[in-house]
Structure 1
Amino acid sequence: MRIIAITQRLLAHTEYYEIRETLSTQWGELFQSGRTLNGFIPMPLSYTIGFHHYIDMLKNSLAGVILSGGNDLSCCLDSDIRNSQQGKLSIMRDDYEAELIEICMKSNIPLLGICRGAQMIAWHFGSEITKCNNHVGTHKIKYTKNISPMQKLAESNTKLKLHNTCNSFHNYCISKLSNSLLPLAICEDNSIEAFRHEKNAIYGIMWHIERKDGLENNIILQQWLNNIRDK
């Protein structure tokens, strides 16, 4: 059994001082379901433990890393919120995940960003993140020419899906992608819904694969998993 590490949401308790790292139970259900992620087990990452320690401990058992949703990026916060407790947690998470991205690149560890995680990867490589409307719930997307190599997988495997709708839940979008990232899917407003790195096994998906109907578009996830299995 190989491990996929997952970053978590950071929350501050409202009644007394305690910082909590949380991950939706839907992630466990996704791994347990045997759909797509069969053969892997999730490991939530703690922000108090440097990612390099996980690599030293897990060695070849670590198959890949997922940056999960939750917590707005610090670049999206106004000055008042940035200085609040929740703002400081966003900065803490940003700093940890930025270092994680660099380590994954240097160590050739496949990386997948989901929603906020996709925004984090995009921002790290110099993309623009802006506020958006009508991105909560099901909405239409269209795939770019960069998806063509993946479509061949779908032609030979009926379990792989490419639908023209997705289940995104975000108030900020990737409005402009950096040159090192290639768009895979876009919205009607031309914001980016999915992308991949031009060289590394790094992918970003703005919809939630762990939520209801999240695997209705699963071909990008499968391509990322193929990168893991090809290591």
Structure 2
Amino acid sequence: MKILIVPTIREIYKNQFEYCVDTKLINFFKKIYINSKIEIFNNSIKDKYNLIVFSGGNDLFSKDKKNKIRNKINNQIYKFALKNKIKILGICLGAQFLAKKFAFKLEKNTSVVGDHKVFFNINKKKFVRNVNSYHNDSIRINKINNINIFGVTKDNTVEAFHFKKKKILGIMWHPERYSKFKEFDKKLIKKFYATNSIISR
């Protein structure tokens, strides 16, 4: 099992950029996939991967240099993943990036920052759970062919979506940022990886 993580780009000093990944995110995937090999993107893609993770951090709409670098990397790896039919997971900004690819509308929205409720509908079972949020942009609901929106907020913004045909899962919360990883998150991602679906057949 090989996982490639797309990092956050930080400008530590003027024109000094660093590729950053939270160690908790690495630990999260190590917990799910015990024998996995995890790599951080570093300007080249040489190997075949089983899963590519677009992590959080950065800003899709900012025009500063670090965000331009991140967007360029995102587009490069996205094309690689589709060409090679590799499963894709987007977390927070990663989910926003993927949603934008499918013509969802993104908008400024601070009402879902911090802990908030998400209303899920999986296998025709409806339930509510609290998630964490660290984003100021939200994905507005739009009925798009072949995309399953299975998690929304009270004000109808998208928190979770799945596109089986292109092997894509997007979630707007951070599963790695809990003191103890949630079983729901682990099961959701394992199910997606194993079957390319989030629903039982």
| Cα distance, 1:171 vs structure 2 | 0.9
Look up the match of 2:23: 25
In the other structure, the counterpart of 1:109 is 86
Residue 148 (1) aligns with residue 123 (2): yes
Give the drift of 1:113.
0.1
Aligned residue for 1:210, secondary structure, equals helix
Which residue identity is paired with 1:211?
Answer: R
**Structure-2 separation of matches of 1:211 and 1:38:** 19
2:47 and 2:80 mapped to 1: Cα distance? 14
Change (3 A) 1:177 1:222: farther
Give me the whole-angstrom Cα distance separating, in 1, the residues matched to 2:192 and 2:156: 24
Residue 204 of structure 1 aligns to a residue whose secondary structure is strand
- Unpaired segments ≥5 residues, structure 1: 152-161
Counterpart residue number, 2:141: 176
1:208/1:90 Cα in 2 relative to 1: closer, same or farther (>3 Å)?
same
Quick one: distance in 2 between partners of 1:207 and 1:29? 17
- 2:41 is matched with 45
**Residues 217, 101 of structure 1: alpha-carbon distance in 2 compared, 3 angstrom cutoff:** same
Q: CA deviation at 1:140?
A: 0.5
Q: Secondary structure at the match of 1:104?
A: helix
TM-score (norm 2): 0.85
Q: Does 1:63 align with 2:61?
A: no
Could you give the per-residue CA deviations for residues 125-161 of structure 1, whole angstroms, max 9, x where no partner exists? Answer: 21111011232221111113xx217x7xxxxxxxxxx
**Which structure carries more helix by proportion?**
1
Specify the code of the residue in structure 2 equivalent to 1:22.
Answer: C
Aligned amino acid, residue 28 of structure 1:
I
Q: Secondary structure at the match of 1:12?
A: strand
Q: TM-score, normalised by structure 1?
A: 0.75
Equivalent position of 1:99 in the other structure: 76
1:164: which partner in 2?
129
2:28–2:181 contact (8 Å) kept in structure 1 = no
Which stretch of structure 1 is more off in the superposition, 129-138 or 173-182?
Answer: 173-182
Match of 1:207 in 2: 173
Q: Against the structure 1 CA distance between its residues 98 and 37, is the aligned structure 2 distance closer, same or farther, given a 3 Å change threshold?
A: same
Deviations 1:178-200 (A, max 9, x none): 61432010000100000011512
Q: Distance in 2 between matches of 1:194 and 1:173?
A: 11
Equivalent position amino acid for 1:44 in 2: I
Alignment pair present for 1:134 and 2:111: yes
Kindly report the root-mean-square deviation, in angstroms, between the aligned alpha carbons of the 2 structures.
Answer: 2.1
Partner Cα separation in structure 1 for residue 159 and residue 93 of structure 2:
11
Deviation for aligned residue 1:5: 0.3
1:190 aligned residue: 156
* Among 42, 66, 69, the residue aligned to 1:89: 66
Structure 2 gap ranges (5+):
197-201
- Please state how far the C-alpha of 1:163 moved relative to its aligned partner: 5.1
Q: Which amino acid aligns with 1:165?
A: N
Residue type at the aligned position of 2:17: I
Contact 2:120–2:128 under 8 Å retained in 1? no
Aligned-residue identity in percent? 26
More strand as a share of residues: 2
How many residue pairs end up in the alignment? 192
